[in-house]
A and B are shown apart, each in its own frame.
Chain A
Amino acid sequence: MKKVLWICMVSAIAVSVGVAQEPQTPGPARTTPENSAPDQNNAETEDPEGENEDTSKITDLPLLEDLEIPSSEELLSGEQISWIIVVNDRVVFSRPISPRPNTLEVQAEQYETLRVQKTPRDPEAADQFRKKLGRLQRVRGGFPGGSQFPEFLIEVKDVQAIWHHEDLMLKRADLLMQENKLNEAYELLFTLQTINSSWPGLEDRHLRLTFLDAEQLWNEGQREAALARYEELYRIEPKYPELLNRMSERVNQLIEAAVDAGDFRRARHYFHRLESVRDNLQVVREWREKFSSMMQTSLQQARAASDEQNYAQAVSQVERATEIWPYSVELRDEHRRISRRYQVLKVGALRPAGSKSSYPFPTPSDERYDFLKTRPLFEITQFDGSPRYRTTLIEQWEPTELGRNIVLQFRTDFDYWNSQKPVTSIAVAQSLSRQLNPESEEYDERLSGYLRAIQVHSPYRMELEFARAPLRPEAILNRAVLGPTDSSEFNDWFRETDRTERSCTWIRSLPEPEDAPGFHVAEVQETGYDNHEEALRALFRGEVDYLPTLPLKHVSPLQEAIPWLVRKYVIPETHLLQFHPESVLSRSSELRRALLYALDREEILAEEVLREAPREFGRLTTSPVPTTSESYSPLVKPFEPNLRVGLSLALAAAKTQGGKLPTLKMIVPPEPGLQPVIDRMIKRWQRIGVEVIVVDPGSSETQQWDIVYRRVSLTEPLTQLWPLLTMEPTPRVADLQDLPGWLRQELIRLDLTTNWEDANTILFRLHEHLWQEVFYLPLWELDRYSIARRNISGIPVNPLQSYQDLSSWTVDPWFDQSQP
């Protein structure tokens, strides 16, 4: 309505100030502009003073100072309107005017060009020529409101300025920037950019907006983003006023904060960013000197510590020096000298070894902890379908009496790098006695069933007498031989010296001698990261040298890369679901089968577990026993997923549970990356009417879980299958109470078997029976890989454990000299 009023008013006034209406739509008794224009032109040229007579009517037009620049919303979504500012700062609104931009200048230029030309002799052409000249002396506008409203003409001499729609957008953007409404301003400028990227003044506004955005981000605490904006502005316009000063000031603050936090890598990162902008800035020069000085201080301290044979301190200081300012030849030489003497293996993992967790089953962190802490009498070091044992503590062991006795001769000397004190037969006898004592925490029921007598012949020679010949004595004697933890007899391998929530440090319990011909890993520093990607970035940055677990999707690209050593573990990892013995699942084979039938394991494996990793890195399995094991029966066929059968079985199970199944609670290991897999499984189970929720195992309300997601690697199914089934660390008959009688007796028979043929027959049978009855639900088997920088040597080609043979690993000194 307002617009219509304006139109009426402007049309009346326009006529009075010499504006001729040019209705474009045909109307009764109206003259078309083309017809009327020459007359008007003539009239105007003939009577240019005519306007002065009617100037009083101009006062009806709005004054520029009374008008407000349209809002962003009006500019973006309303009709495009240009302002023609006429005499006395009055404003006429118009539809978009062309030519644009610089309408008046362009018209004036065209007019001058045309004016100097001769008038054509041909009357018709001369008429056209005059008309053209006349048009160039007028600004052609159109009343807003669409094409149905008439156009008008205003003499150029009456026009002070034309503010096109685009100009109005820039003016509104200026206002918004003044008000610090940068997002709205950006929106306007972006729209204008898409309309006409070369509009005069747009570039300037963009630069200003970038600067203001950087300032705002800085003030909001998004310093990294702010710095990126400054840099962006510098790339576009290096001479932008105050930009360099502001950048120097900001980067200085960032460097200071990083230095205060001890994060020199970050400090150097900011330093180099500023340096790359301009290397002769005052701030750059000052920080270069400071870094160099701090590096020298650390290096001096490292030298002093090394001279005092405090190698751990020396390495710590020299490492710090490399973090502060690694671009020094002197530093490189000193680092090599000190780090060779005391080699530190820096390891990145999701959780440092031995971290506390509410998840009630062993995690890779716990396995590394156990491995670092103790050396068992026998340990598995190879696997070629069946495990191969080795011992570093025993010189020779000899079965006698058809395997009923075994004579152990202990080693008295070890390689200097072995970090191993000799064990005496007395200590071993005491340790075994504790394992035989039901009152002891170390009680091993299986061992107590085998071992009948222990005879100590000499400090380094003893004989064990078995009640029955064990199938593999190494398998039952593979527990650690330790004295009490608070005594000097405590025979550990590596000793924990420091622990925080995100890190732990282990050192050799027996340091290498000073005159050793070569040195090996003396200290292991484990650092925890939130996820595998972060750990991998830390490896690339040089913060760590070794990752015990490399995500499968990164294996192929990194296998080819020269700086990295990717090792495949000989035993893959099996993911499986197990059920709580008191859960409804343990009582209902129908429900267990329903869960199995509902899962499309192949699809989940490909789409959620492996994702971008090659398909051959994972495979479906029917047993927790590795598929490469001799004890894995290839005859057991997996069930095809079938939601209908799953649904039917779930209904049958519900019938036995009073018509409704309870919501099942599931616990999962504290590892990132599993959630999508779990979500996928839960969705599949929902489709057969089985509700499963993930609960925190640490919460007191969720002590009673139903399903646990586990990751296991069984190297010795003969002895490990029983504890796996009962979900206890050691095999105890009492834990078999909840299993069916036939399964209980099969496990016992396996435990008592004395020949390999029977053992494999029973294992094959158990494999088939456990799968058919779904006592657990094996999901898939995944290959495992580790990655190390090539400066680490001594890692076995196909390791079984993350730290296998760790005491003979060496770390060649290396540090990252690249600019972060």
Chain B
Amino acid sequence: MKHYKQYRVHEHLSSTKCESRGWQILKLTMSLFLVLFIAERSRASDEDLLYRELAPKPYDVQIRMQWGPTLRLPPDDKQEIVGDLQELLRRSVGSFWSIHIQQGGPLPVADLKLLRHGTFPLEHQVARKTFLVVVEAESGQWQLGVREGDHTTSQWSAMAEEIVEDRRLLASTLHRMIGRVFQPLYRIASIDRDRLDLIAVGGEWSISDESFNAFPEAGLARPVIVYRGREKEIQQIQILPLTYLSLDSRDRARITSRVISAYPAPLGSGRQSRVELWALGGKPLFSATELTLVLQGNSSRVLMGHRVVVQSKRFLKAETETEPLELLSDRHGRLSVETVEGFPVVWLYVWSGEALLARVPFVPGWNQRETLSLPDDSVRLRVEGELDRLRSDLVADVSRRAINRILLLAAAQAKDRDEVDRLKAERRSLPDEETYQDRLELILTGGVVDSEQIRSRVSVMRIRKSCDVMQKVIFRFLDPDRDRELETEVEALMKLP
């Protein structure tokens, strides 16, 4: 169709060669507008359809409660807790959510560890949520764990954990925890560069409780891409790493958001067929996230001793309200990024020596643990060290030359021929520009060859750039013309009466 249209336009243009140029441009522009108008109408109608489908759609919520084996609670008490929870939820979200609380769940044993690390299949169904709740008892305390599973995107939230001392607080605590792990679901309706229009599922319903609101204050969401096959079957679900949506404004169930990502245009145009773009909202559950730095392409190799600067603004030079925080990855490649008050999204600057290895947005506390893959910078770093040492030697030799110059001129003024000859010989024995250029060439060649071996074009580029800078420095301080000028000056001084 596209080819046909192009052909037709081309044919039309070629058949009216005699027409004036202005007329031709006008007709072409009008045709283009027409096409765009039709496309926009079509998109608008798609959006409307989505809106009508999703905005009033209530969540189908299933809460599965599992009681720990050591828990000695009579069935009546359990039923009472369930009843209280149901009532609290009803008060929060109103009656439009379909909430079913079921005792028993998919875990073989009601164990918090299993709940924390386990993954459970979620049958695809739009606007369906499953909450797994585990209640354990130990040392007279009640240990609670809640996770939320979103059926649309097959994503499980992190686990919220709390300990309560009083049984009477169980229902209210569970209610609060469900609110904390609840991930509002959004459909990405349109993309305009870094601006996105979202439709909040069930957004037409008004909810008083902020925890269950589709548009929380300073809300964030993470995009999820659902790839479907020809038969509309789900082939793959991918959560976009290091990409967040900041929920800026709301018009009923329509939400305008902004993309914050480590990548340029991470969602593309959003108009591919058989690709659904969703987003899952959420809140930081933890006070910090344990971030593990790993090598790109080899996640088993952790990166130790890498410097990470946590900054509240995207650009280093931007004025920030908070002091940048410097962290260093430990022996396990881990570092703990703590939440920053007022800044749900922070920027992580990962440095390798003098080079910036990565600049990524990050929401601390969203997950307990996350991983960040980084390119191999070992070769460039080695070159940086070699250049450092070259620079140190250069400084010492330039100092020697400066002293030699002073002494040489003094000897020439004193007409001390022997001293002048000795100092000249000493100067010639000092490493000159050529020596340093050779050393630099050696460093450059070694660095480039090794970088090519690990297929790092960025590394090659950076090495070349660093070596170029060093080359200029060498030339600036060891310019051979200066030596020649000095010799001429010395000889002139010697000839003076």
Q: Footprint of B on A, CB under 8 Å?
A: 445-446, 448-449, 589-590, 593, 597, 642, 644-645, 647-649, 652, 733-734, 736-737, 740-748, 752, 769, 772-773
6 interchain pairs, CB-CB under 8 A: A445-B331, A446-B331, A597-B396, A736-B328, A742-B384, A773-B392
- When A593-B392, A648-B402, A772-B392 are in contact, do A733 and B381 touch as well, CB less than 8 Å? no
Q: Which of B101-109, B154-162, B207-215, B349-357 lines the interface with chain A?
A: B349-357
Assess whether B385 is in contact with A449, with CB atoms less than 8 Å apart.
no
Question: In whole angstroms, what is the CA distance A445 to B304 when docked?
Answer: 12
Which chain B residues lie closer than 8 Å to A733 at the CB level?
Answer: 304-305, 328-331
Flag whether B371 is at the interface (Cβ < 8 A): no
Minimum CB distance partner of A650 in chain B: B399
Q: 8 Å CB contacts to A: which residues of B298-355?
A: 304-305, 307, 326, 328-332, 351-354
How far in angstroms is the closest Cβ of chain A from B192?
40
Assess whether A773 is in contact with B400, with CB atoms less than 8 Å apart.
no
Assess whether B399 is in contact with A649, with CB atoms less than 8 Å apart.
yes
Q: 8 Å CB contacts to A: which residues of B364-414?
A: 378, 381-382, 384-385, 388-389, 392-393, 395-396, 399-400, 402-403
Which chain B residues lie closer than 8 Å to A449 at the CB level?
Answer: 331-332
Which chain B residues lie closer than 8 Å to A590 at the CB level?
Answer: 392, 395
- When A741-B353, A742-B388, A746-B385 are in contact, do A648 and B328 touch as well, CB less than 8 Å? no
Assess whether A589 is in contact with B305, with CB atoms less than 8 Å apart.
no
Assess whether A745 is in contact with B388, with CB atoms less than 8 Å apart.
no
Minimum CB distance partner of B401 in chain A: A648
Which chain B residues lie closer than 8 Å to A742 at the CB level?
Answer: 353, 381-382, 384-385, 388
Question: In whole angstroms, what is the CA distance A645 to B402 when docked?
Answer: 9
Which chain B residues lie closer than 8 Å to A743 at the CB level?
Answer: 385
How far in angstroms is the closest Cβ of chain B from A557?
43
How far in angstroms is the closest Cβ of chain A from B417?
22
How far in angstroms is the closest Cβ of chain A from B84?
38
Assess whether A737 is in contact with B392, with CB atoms less than 8 Å apart.
no
Which chain A residues lie closer than 8 Å to B396 at the CB level?
Answer: 593, 597, 645, 649
> Interface SS of chain A: helix, strand, loop or mixed?
helix
Which chain A residues lie closer than 8 Å to B395 at the CB level?
Answer: 589-590, 593, 649, 652
Among B353, B389, B395, B396, chain A packs the most CB atoms within 10 A around the CB of B396
Minimum CB distance partner of B354 in chain A: A741
- When A648-B402, A742-B381 are in contact, do A773 and B389 touch as well, CB less than 8 Å? yes
Question: In whole angstroms, what is the CA distance A737 to B351 when docked?
Answer: 12
Minimum CB distance partner of A752 in chain B: B304
Question: In whole angstroms, what is the CA distance A773 to B332 when docked?
Answer: 29
Assess whether B307 is in contact with A772, with CB atoms less than 8 Å apart.
no
Question: In whole angstroms, what is the CA distance A748 to B302 when docked?
Answer: 12
Which chain A residues lie closer than 8 Å to B304 at the CB level?
Answer: 733, 748, 752
- When A652-B395, A736-B328, A769-B389 are in contact, do A741 and B403 touch as well, CB less than 8 Å? no
How far in angstroms is the closest Cβ of chain A from B148?
31
Which chain B residues lie closer than 8 Å to A648 at the CB level?
Answer: 399-400, 402-403
Q: Footprint of A on B, CB under 8 Å?
A: 304-305, 307, 326, 328-332, 351-354, 378, 381-382, 384-385, 388-389, 392-393, 395-396, 399-400, 402-403
Which chain B residues lie closer than 8 Å to A748 at the CB level?
Answer: 304-305
Minimum CB distance partner of B357 in chain A: A741
Assess whether A772 is in contact with B331, with CB atoms less than 8 Å apart.
no
Which chain A residues lie closer than 8 Å to B331 at the CB level?
Answer: 445-446, 448-449, 733
Assess whether B378 is in contact with A745, with CB atoms less than 8 Å apart.
yes
Question: In whole angstroms, what is the CA distance A740 to B355 when docked?
Answer: 12
Question: In whole angstroms, what is the CA distance A647 to B378 when docked?
Answer: 36
Q: Which of B330, B381, B389, B400 contacts A741 (CB 8 A)?
A: B381
Question: In whole angstroms, what is the CA distance A647 to B403 when docked?
Answer: 10
Which chain A residues lie closer than 8 Å to B399 at the CB level?
Answer: 645, 648-649, 652
Assess whether A740 is in contact with B392, with CB atoms less than 8 Å apart.
no
Which chain B residues lie closer than 8 Å to A736 at the CB level?
Answer: 305, 328
Which chain B residues lie closer than 8 Å to A652 at the CB level?
Answer: 395, 399
Assess whether A740 is in contact with B353, with CB atoms less than 8 Å apart.
yes
Question: In whole angstroms, what is the CA distance A748 to B381 when docked?
Answer: 13
- When A645-B399, A748-B305, A772-B392 are in contact, do A741 and B328 touch as well, CB less than 8 Å? no
Among B351, B381, B399, chain A packs the most CB atoms within 10 A around the CB of B399
How far in angstroms is the closest Cβ of chain A from B404?
9
Question: In whole angstroms, what is the CA distance A153 to B352 when docked?
Answer: 110
Among A448, A742, A773, chain B packs the most CB atoms within 10 A around the CB of A742
Assess whether B328 is in contact with A734, with CB atoms less than 8 Å apart.
yes
Among B328, B354, B385, chain A packs the most CB atoms within 10 A around the CB of B385
Which chain A residues lie closer than 8 Å to B381 at the CB level?
Answer: 741-742, 745
Question: In whole angstroms, what is the CA distance A446 to B331 when docked?
Answer: 7
Question: In whole angstroms, what is the CA distance A743 to B328 when docked?
Answer: 14
Which chain A residues lie closer than 8 Å to B332 at the CB level?
Answer: 449
Question: In whole angstroms, what is the CA distance A772 to B396 when docked?
Answer: 11
Assess whether A740 is in contact with B330, with CB atoms less than 8 Å apart.
no
- When A742-B385, A746-B385 are in contact, do A737 and B400 touch as well, CB less than 8 Å? no
Minimum CB distance partner of B387 in chain A: A742
How far in angstroms is the closest Cβ of chain A from B427?
13
Question: In whole angstroms, what is the CA distance A746 to B381 when docked?
Answer: 10
Which chain A residues lie closer than 8 Å to B307 at the CB level?
Answer: 737, 741
Q: Which of A593, A644, A752 contacts B403 (CB 8 A)?
A: A644
Assess whether A589 is in contact with B392, with CB atoms less than 8 Å apart.
yes
Question: In whole angstroms, what is the CA distance A445 to B329 when docked?
Answer: 13
Which chain A residues lie closer than 8 Å to B326 at the CB level?
Answer: 737
How far in angstroms is the closest Cβ of chain B from A730?
11
The 6 closest A-B pairs by CB, nearest first: A741-B353, A742-B385, A648-B399, A449-B331, A744-B305, A644-B403
Question: In whole angstroms, what is the CA distance A740 to B354 when docked?
Answer: 9
Minimum CB distance partner of B351 in chain A: A741
Question: In whole angstroms, what is the CA distance A107 to B154 when docked?
Answer: 141
Assess whether B385 is in contact with A740, with CB atoms less than 8 Å apart.
yes
Question: In whole angstroms, what is the CA distance A741 to B399 when docked?
Answer: 27
Which chain A residues lie closer than 8 Å to B388 at the CB level?
Answer: 589, 740, 742, 773
Which chain A residues lie closer than 8 Å to B330 at the CB level?
Answer: 445, 733-734
Among A446, A744, A746, chain B packs the most CB atoms within 10 A around the CB of A744
Question: In whole angstroms, what is the CA distance A773 to B331 when docked?
Answer: 25
Which chain B residues lie closer than 8 Å to A649 at the CB level?
Answer: 395-396, 399
How far in angstroms is the closest Cβ of chain A from B374?
13
How far in angstroms is the closest Cβ of chain A from B462?
13
Question: In whole angstroms, what is the CA distance A644 to B423 when docked?
Answer: 14
Question: In whole angstroms, what is the CA distance A652 to B393 when docked?
Answer: 14
Question: In whole angstroms, what is the CA distance A236 to B437 when docked?
Answer: 85
- When A645-B399, A736-B305 are in contact, do A769 and B328 touch as well, CB less than 8 Å? no
Which chain A residues lie closer than 8 Å to B392 at the CB level?
Answer: 589-590, 593, 772-773
Assess whether A741 is in contact with B352, with CB atoms less than 8 Å apart.
yes
Which chain B residues lie closer than 8 Å to A593 at the CB level?
Answer: 392, 395-396
Minimum CB distance partner of B355 in chain A: A741
Which chain A residues lie closer than 8 Å to B351 at the CB level?
Answer: 741
Assess whether B403 is in contact with A745, with CB atoms less than 8 Å apart.
no
**Besides A642-B400, A734-B328, A740-B388, 12 other A-B contacts (C-beta < 8 A):** A445-B330, A645-B396, A645-B400, A648-B399, A649-B396, A652-B399, A733-B305, A741-B307, A741-B384, A743-B385, A744-B305, A745-B305
Question: In whole angstroms, what is the CA distance A797 to B304 when docked?
Answer: 43
Which chain B residues lie closer than 8 Å to A647 at the CB level?
Answer: 403
Which chain A residues lie closer than 8 Å to B352 at the CB level?
Answer: 741
